[in-house]
Structure 1
Amino acid sequence: MKPIASAACAALVLFAGAALPAADTLPLFNGRDLSGWHIDVPAMDKDPATPSPFLVRDGHLVSLAKPGGHIITDATHANYRLTVEYRFAGVPGNCGVLVHVSTPRALYGMFPRSIEAQLMHENAGDFWCIALDITTPDMETRRGPKADWGVDGKKLRRIRNLTDNSEKPPGEWNTLVIECLADQVKVWVNGDLVNHGYACQATSGQIALQAEGSEVEFRRVDLTPITTLTD
């Protein structure tokens, strides 16, 4: 694992706070069907006979990668810890988990306004700003020249993660944890803190999984509310 840069580490300490999850965890995926979710795939608008890229197989929620789109929770959430267990079913590639989801198809006619926690192989934990911005420590190093930052397709929207080699070998299950608390978003991959953003422009929204690039299986998508802040 690549160590966190000292400046970023100091900033993480500054913004760190202990968040206590509530006792009750809500499974967003029940292992049987897609209850509690809806699908937004532009290609299905053009041709209703287009097969959905999202299905349940062997107790897993599966993203088939194509056609591109998202499966989105019906409910809106704030102040929570999201635990996602996922693996690439074949050749590893691209996918993502989106938080603070709101306006549909806000970017490229497909991506909803949100902050994406990247699942792309060897890049898990990157932030992608999708019509919604967030700030991180040492952001000019990790995002590029400040003059080029932005949240649309012509701007620098990617904020690179803090570690390398946090993912398990292709085919093995990974655990992604996203903590959304007030205007902060933290991301862990297999126990490593890989990103920490603050001053996010949204503090609540829906949650989405992508169909983009590679087939991914999800066996766990659990949400635990956070009810208490301590120093």
Structure 2
Amino acid sequence: MPRDFRLRMILFVVGATLSLALAAPAPEPTSSALAQDPQGWLDLLDGAGTELKGWTRSPIPPDGKLDADSQWKFDPRTGILTCEGTGGHDWVRWDRELSDFIYHVEWRFTPVTSGKKAYNSGIYARNSADAKIWHQAQTGDAKGGYIFGETPVHGKIARVNFSKQVRDSRVKPAGEWNTFEITCKGKDMSLWVNGAVTLDWHDCEVPTGFVGLEAERYRIEFRHVKLKPL
């Protein structure tokens, strides 16, 4: 075997070994917090009715224009909150400011049969009331499953994006139900996606805020929107 060929093979094996060693380990499978302990949860859509009582709709960005007709529809019979995706960019927030909690949301996109298929929406936690400060768990079509936002970093508002830190997005394709759980406790914020924690963030400088759901021009359904104060 030629010397240069042996050298190339050695370098290849070493490189492959280093790549495997540096790769982030797959997250350990776990049950959702709701499944582990179903006691003490608040159903945020219980009693909301078709008028979505207890929730406030606001534009994104905060100085944007809010469409007169809401694209949010809640059906008390099925317990499903639907964003038709026919309006502009807005969000609905639950009208109670919180500190430490677990926020459980199940969601699915309606598959797009033609046109743009970016499937954009998100689940909010510890937002300011006007959403100038926000933290979003990104949804998508078999992608997403990370947290990003605009939040104080050393006291100054900055963009944070943890998409590169996600060990496994675990998000299912459009048309299938997904489950997200965002846990906020002190400075820690974690995201659980379809059976495992995919992201831990330990430096959230926002101690309290609002939870909510985002509308961004795609039809998406939400169910079992629940919260457990910690």
TM-score (ref. length: structure 2):
0.70
- Pick one of 92, 97, 107 that aligns with 1:86: 107
Residue 27 (structure 2) pairs with residue 24 (structure 1): no
Structure 2 Cα separation of the partners of residues 172 and 7 of structure 1: 28
Equivalent residue, structure 2, for 1:115:
135
Residue 98 of structure 2 aligns with which residue? 77
d(CA) in 2 for partners of 1:52, 1:5: 50
> Structure 1 pair 79/5, CA: closer, same or farther in 2 (3 Å)?
farther
Aligned CA distance change for structure 1 residues 131 and 216 (closer, same or farther; 3 Å): same
Q: Does 1:189 align with 2:196?
A: no
Return the structure number with greater relative CO, CA threshold 8 A, min gap 6: 1
Corresponding letter in the other structure for 2:220: V
| C-alpha deviation, 1:175, in angstroms | 0.7
Question: Following TM superposition, by how much is the alpha carbon of 1:117 offset from its aligned partner in structure 2, in angstroms?
Answer: 1.0
Q: Which amino acid aligns with 2:68?
A: T
Q: CA deviation at 1:7?
A: 8.4
The structural deviation recorded for 1:216 is: 0.8
**Which residue is 1:224 aligned to?**
228
Partner in structure 2 of residue 200 of structure 1: 204
Per-residue deviation at 1:72? 0.7
Residue 172 (str. 1) matches residue 176 (str. 2): yes
Deviations 1:91-147 (A, max 9, x none): 3611001111115152xxxxxx1211111233332211224449xxxxxxxxxxxxx
Are positions 1:50 and 2:68 aligned together?
A: yes
In the aligned structure 2, how far is the partner of 1:50 from the partner of 1:166?
A: 36
What RMSD, in angstroms, separates the aligned Cα atoms of the two structures?
3.3
Query: TM-score by structure 1 length?
Result: 0.70
Among 144, 156, 162, the alignment partner of 1:124 is 144
CA distance in 1, matches of 2:100, 2:67: 38
Please, which runs of 5 or more residues in structure 1 have no aligned partner?
13-19, 107-112, 135-149, 227-231
Counterpart of 2:100, as a letter, is N
Q: Which letter does structure 2 place at the counterpart of 1:24?
A: G
Distance 1:212 1:175 in 2: 19
Shift of 1:206: 0.6
**Identity across the alignment (%):** 26
Instruction: Tell me the residue number matched to 2:121.
Output: 95
* Distance in 1 of aligned mates of 2:49 and 2:197: 31
- Contact 1:95–1:210 (8 Å) recurs in 2: yes
List alignment gaps of at least 5 residues for structure 2.
Answer: 1-19, 28-35
Aligned-partner Cα distance in 2 for 1:215–1:56: 13
1:60 corresponds to: 80
